[in-house]
Chain A
Amino acid sequence: MNLTLEVWRQENSTTPGGFVTYTVRDISPDASFLEMLDVLNDDLVRKGEEPVAFDHDCREGICGSCGIMIDGRAHGPQKGVATCELRMRCFNDGDRIVVEPFRAKPFPVIRDLIVDRTSFDRIIQSGGFVSVKTGGAPDANAIPIAKNAVDEAFDAATCIGCGACVAACKNGSASLFVAAKVSHLALLPQGQAERDTRVVSMVAKMDLEGFGSCSNTYACEAECPKEISVSNIARMNREYLRFNLITQK
């Protein structure tokens, strides 16, 4: 396949960026999108030019490092995959593809397609955990957990923290990301002790980091590579309301 790429190039967070046009040739339809970018970078390096910087690592859809807006869609046209899993067979020979970083105020561009998503880490640090010190945990089977509860918790916990939900949202909201962690822990008995403080601090942190509000467009669910359900956002809102109406008298 031969393709034309419009790639966002930006040297660092302080200099303005812009699109640069490149062509790539003889791309195998079995190659992944990132492997196609590898081919582009190989050409650039051979010419002595700076390659396009993009985050990537495991290349099997689980580390959450990669994240590229492809033709205006987070992780590209295919549903339920991260950029590294996207195969070139989803495109046609001769296509023109627009390649941009995930854009949101709390995700400043570091270089080219790399953005800083440490705002996600700071949200987790504000309460996305169960406070258990090492040692002294009871036997793993001491508390039975209904299979459907743990399965639902798992579905939320499968979030890879890539930021596609934020990039897809017109408000730049991190609601799906935060809700996935709130749900995961609220559904398990181990998460109960800190259930109230967790949701309140995580939501406050999300606002403080500059993420927008949720207006129920469901764009996040549509673009999530792990297909995490927006019903988690409803659960997060219930948890939040529960604290404000019932717990906090």
Chain B
Amino acid sequence: MALESRIPSGPIEKQWDAHRFNLKLVNPANKRKYHVIVVGTGLAGASAAASLADLGYHVTAFSYHESPRRAHSIAAQGGINAPKNYSNDGDSAWRLFYDTVKGGDYRAREANVYRLAQVSGNIIDQCVAQGVPFAREYGGLLDNRSFGGAQVSRTFYARGQTGQQLLLGAYSQLSRHIGAGTVKFHDRREMVELVLVSGRARGIVVRNLVTGALEKYSANAVILATGGYGNAFYLSTMAKASNATAIWRAHKKGAYFANACYTQIHPTCIPVSGDYQSKLTLMSESLRNDGRIWIPKKKDDSRSPEDIPEEERDYYLERLYPSFGNLVPRDVASRRAKEMCDKGLGVGPTKTAVYLDFKDAIDRNGKGWIEEKYGNLFDMYHEITGEDPYSTPMRIYPAVHYTMGGLWVDYNLMSTIPGMFVLGEANFSDHGANRLGASALMQGLADGYFIIPYTIGDYLATTTFDPVDESHVEFAGALEAAQGLTERLLAIQGSRTVDDFHRALGKTMWENVGMGRNKEGLKSAIDSIRKLRDEFWQDVRVVGSVNGLHNEVERAGRVVDFLELGEFMARDALHREESCGGHFREEHQTADGEALRNDKDFSYVAAWEFGGDGREPKLHKEPLTFEYVKPAQRSYK
């Protein structure tokens, strides 16, 4: 199948408007006749479900949480970008577009990114109208702050809890519809199968996590907004339940998976401290506005940080990147931190950390000022480490945080399966090889509030639907497959736990498919993941049963998919013989250690078609052309 990206023609600033005009509409009275399933109710899913219900569509939404308010969008800290130019510092949609394409290391679609920049201002308006309490100045107008990869202040924020406030906004609108009966919401349901009828997405099978029962739901279209797949690394800043099951099983049903190797490793996380550790905690990038990153110049300096004089410190980001300093993009900051620690200059008990120091900012503006801006983050750091960051520098190290890759979608956010749309982190669309800070909230809400409501109408209006309901034979087949998988897992009765396998996978991924990748490491990762997968199917012990609530059964199903996806990520990374953004191939770097792209051979989206169990996937290329932002070696110097 050829990839049809459906990017409109014409000048980029007019494409979305022209496209919206050309999209077919569904008559208001007919909208209620169309049934749309939304899987996942984080920022992208909740905003989509509420907006589609506003239009009058018949919407059913699903979450594996007990409530949409628990989705991991809630943990986003720093902020959301919009080029409102309230700061009068020269911002515009063009500049946000430029920054995002460049920040993504020229591996994103220009048309998508421009549209994102264009609609992002409306998101702020919408959220304020919902009652989102963004930070304000004394005059009552909205405040902005700076984020990595930009030289303007365009980030709107609500202390260090912006994701929480935006999600509660979208949740409030979804709740309005659930209360009114215009959206039907099913909690504690995990999608386990996508159902296709005559090649179109017509429904899903979900597992009721309380009773264990499998349930069938049919619709005219299915929207997946199920988030990213960073938990393939086991330790990440993702929530514990975040998983790839919905997108991976949709991939196995025919949806192409794009750019799986583009993983964002966030530079400012609390370092790993012990084997018991279950997840990593992010310290918002916004801290780099006022914190200075440094390491001692001397190896194995055992003095406490306060005792190390100024001239014996290396503020390496300020030294290497004088114009962006501590605010270089995430991929650059992470890689440099790893490099310093690899050289033996790391700090803390495990020597895998660098300092993030607020002393200068506290001396300049006072402790109260810092408290107001970052109070909750400082408290969180204090809780976790037992150290007080007001008096001693934080210790930070990179951690897996976001996945830019995801299911391939066209300009309408439709996957290669007709009738299946993918929103938010689950798709691959807007961030290229590296996402800039404060852009994930922007993309999730842009997809849900302002893109899918238009584009799904075109699909529904131009498609002739056969009458299909849950009694269709395809539903029975999908249900049987899901039932069979659980029974097979329970029957193994081996000796190792699900968590053992997940941790082993995570270790291989972090070592070989993490911040630095090379051919040999990736090949060995593929081999060892295959071996691990074989062992899993022979020796895992899943405690529980088909019926009832069993955490181990839930986890086992997710780990089955991570064990396949992990290998797939390594394959994508192996094929991409260049470095770009979050994908750093050690063989491809400049003399001073920056990512070296190969635009001649790799300026494309790698969209993979599932090749069958145990078989290699098939590569399809969507060429990327840059008419407006000319690819150059990214420089933040």
- Select the stretch in A61-69, A98-106, A232-240 that faces chain B: A61-69
Query: Is there contact, CB below 8 Å, between B75 and A60?
Result: yes
- Best-surrounded residue of A38, A62, A111, A128 (most CB of chain B within 10 A): A62
Contacts of B384 in A (CB 8 A): 30, 85, 87
Q: Which one, A113-121, A206-214, A215-223, A241-249, is touching chain B?
A: A113-121
Contacts of B142 in A (CB 8 A): 140-141
Determine chain A's interface SS by DSSP, over half rule: loop
A157 touches B168 (CB 8 A): yes
A11 proximity list for chain B (CB < 8 A): 548
B497 in contact with A45 (CB, 8 Å) = yes
With contacts A118-B67, A124-B172 taken as known, whether A188 is within 8 angstroms of B75 at the C-beta atoms is no
A53 touching B551 by the CB < 8 A rule? Answer: yes
Cross-chain contact of A30 among B128, B239, B274 (Cβ < 8 A)? B274
For chain B, residues 286 to 330, give those with C-beta under 8 angstroms from any C-beta of chain A: none
Question: CB < 8 Å: which of B69, B131, B140 contacts A161?
Answer: B69
**Contacts known (A55-B66, A128-B175); A150 close to B126, Cβ less than 8 A:** no
Bound Cα distance from A81 to B379, whole angstroms: 10
Chain A residues 24 to 48 lying within 8 A of chain B, measured CB to CB, are 27-28, 30-32, 34-36, 38-39, 41-42, 44-46, 48
Which A54-79 residues have C-beta < 8 A from chain B? 55-65
A-B interface pairs (CB < 8 A), number: 221
Residue on B with the closest CB to A85?
A: B383
Residues of A within 8 A of B385 (CB): 30
Q: How far is the CA of A88 from the CA of B600 in the complex (A)?
A: 55
Alpha-carbon separation in the docked complex, A102 to B241 (Å): 21
With A81-B383, A110-B549, A130-B130 in contact, is A58–B239 under 8 Å at CB? yes
The 10 closest A-B pairs by CB, nearest first: A144-B140, A125-B179, A129-B172, A137-B129, A134-B51, A137-B125, A154-B133, A57-B239, A140-B128, A133-B54
CB distance A64 to B70 under 8 Å? yes
* Cα distance A201–B149 in the bound complex, in angstroms: 46
**A129-B172, A147-B137 known; A63-B72 Cβ under 8 A:** yes
**A23 contacts chain B at the CB level, 8 A cutoff:** no
Instruction: Flag if A60 contacts B549 (CB, 8 Å).
Output: no
Residues of B within 8 A of A132 (CB): 126, 129-130, 173
The residue of chain B having its C-beta at the shortest distance from the C-beta of A157 within the complex is B133
Contact in complex: B65, A57 (CB < 8 Å): yes
Are A147 and B278 neighbours in the complex by a CB distance under 8 Å? no
Are A158 and B161 in touch, CB under 8 angstroms?
A: yes
A-B residue pairs in contact (CB < 8 Å), sample of 7:
A50-B550, A57-B241, A59-B281, A124-B171, A127-B179, A129-B131, A150-B134
Contact residue range for chain B? 35 or more
Query: Are B54 and A134 neighbours in the complex by a CB distance under 8 Å?
Result: yes
Q: Which residues of B contact A60 (CB under 8 A)?
A: 75, 279, 281-282, 380
Most buried by A among B74, B122, B133, B139: B133
CB distance from A61 to the nearest CB of B (A): 7
In the complex, A127→B176 CA distance in Å?
A: 7
B84 at the interface (CB under 8 A from A): yes
B559–chain A nearest beta-carbon distance, Å: 13
Q: Is the CB of A130 within 8 A of B75?
A: no
Chain A contacts to B: CB under 8 angstroms: 11-12, 27-28, 30-32, 34-36, 38-39, 41-42, 44-46, 48-51, 53, 55-65, 80-81, 85, 87, 89, 110-111, 114, 116-118, 120-122, 124-135, 137-141, 143-147, 150-151, 153-154, 157-158, 160-161, 184-185, 188, 190-191
Measured CB to CB, the nearest residue on chain A to B50 is: A134
From 65 to 90 in chain B, residues with beta carbon under 8 angstroms from any chain A beta carbon are 65-72, 74-75, 84, 86
Closest residue to A12 on the B side, CB-wise? B548
Q: Which of B86, B164, B276 contacts A39 (CB 8 A)?
A: B276
Contact among B54, B127, B139, B279 with A144 in the assembled complex (CB-CB below 8 Å):
B139
Does B350 lie at the interface of the complex (its beta carbon under 8 Å from any beta carbon of A)? no
In the complex, what distance in Å separates the CA atom of A133 from the CA atom of B135? 23
Q: Does the CB pair B178–A56 fall under 8 Å?
A: no
List A contacts of B551 (CB < 8 A): 41, 51, 53
Give CA–CA (A140, B128) in the complex, Å: 6
- A61-B383, A62-B161, A145-B140 known; 9 new pairs, CB 8 Å cut-off, are A11-B548, A32-B278, A59-B279, A64-B69, A129-B173, A137-B128, A138-B129, A140-B128, A150-B134
